[in-house]
Amino acid sequence: MAKLSIDDLDLKKKKVIIRVDFNVPLSDGKVADNTRIVQTLPTIQKVLKDGGIPIIISHLGRPKGKVVPELSLKPVAKTLEQLLSHKVTFIDNCVGDKVSKAVGKAEAGDCFLLENLRFHPEEKENGEEFAKALSSLGNVFINDAFGTAHRAHASMVGIPKFISESAAGYLMKKEIDYFNKVLENPQRPFVALVGGAKISNKIDVILNLLDKVDKLLLGGGLVFTFYKVLGVEIGDSIFDDGSMKTAAEILQKSEEKGGKIILPIDCVITNEISEDGSKRVVFWEDIPPQMIGVDIGPDTSQIYVDEILRARTVTFNGPMGVFEHEAFAEGTKEVLTALAEVKALGGVSVVGGGESAAAVNYFGLEEKMSHISTGGGASLEFMEGKVLPGIAALKDV
């Protein structure tokens, strides 16, 4: 999947529309976490350095096609200006005469952030006229919003229909490069960890990875559906009755491929998911009635760590337990620490977005991974082997 990138373009004196993901948390009218803004700075700085004029567009929250003052990007403009150390002009719309006039008289050195795209229903509807209006603001389009790449919205797939020079920004390119490296040409052995609460959210990921990995290690709440298939008592642990048939098919497929899937052999159980809950370790077939499985056990952790440390490529998609509670976080911590070691030993460790990234941050390991995806849903669909509309719309090299 070779796509045109920002380095392939001549940006001098060009008006460059940059689609970013500034869907950041706000508190008391201020940006509470600037991580997503920081991640896009290299792309914006490149445009400014090369003499282009950045016209930055993004969504924020779910205003459902209406103007919601609390979801304005105005506070984001202030934070962006501080981080860039460069003046950022905020315009309180993203289309219309006011925007066209301001951008029309812009000169090199100017930098704009336009108002929330989702104040217009046409954004999510992929309205052609709305996409045309957005594209009329520039003559180059750079998409750096991987977190929204799985959405066929006007700013993601509509604009490239009207601007031939449509390329990936640095953040988008990094995401594409790492996922291609993992899924298309991994260093071997290739080990994947898939966890999280619901198997239904991870079925397509598991099925896609079974054809690619050497070992697939499962954890989190989703393992109890597999236990159910195997006829094991799971107490009050979470499981998905509607996915039982698929889980059985996955286990069968794993056996046909030499037993790639490894399930936990022990688990941590509790009477309630809270810091006050009891905690003990049992073998997987010994979960008592009315008890809840909340983490992989120490024997499983050791097996998983050994498999990870033998690998040259490892992916992590979903925690091994209820890591938000310290008492049930050990399994997730152990495997993520091993992922960090893989990178230190010269291998590749890639973490999916969303709850996976949150787990890495929780344990302070973000600087020790090869790559942490910025997109939860987007990274999940990439791991499922799906074509992401926002990436497909960019120009091929």
Residues that are catalytic: 36, 198, 354, 377
Strand order in the sheet with 215-218: 261-262, 215-218, 190-194, 313-317, 348-351, 371-372
Cis omega (within 30 of 0) on the bond before 189?
Answer: yes
* Cβ–Cβ < 8 Å for 160, 61: no
Our CA angle for 69, 151, 26, nearest 5°, is 30
Give start and end residues of each alpha helix (H) in the chain.
Answer: 35-49, 74-84, 97-104, 121-125, 128-135, 170-184, 203-210, 223-229, 244-256, 298-310, 330-344, 355-362, 376-383, 389-392
Reference 183, options 389, 390, 379, 393; nearest CA is 379
CB atoms within 10 A of CB 13: 12
Structure tokens at 124: 């999510």
Would you give the end-to-end CA distance of the chain in angstroms? 9
CA distance linking residue 110 with residue 93, whole number of Å: 17
Which secondary structure element, helix H or strand E, spans residue 18, and what is its range? strand 15-19
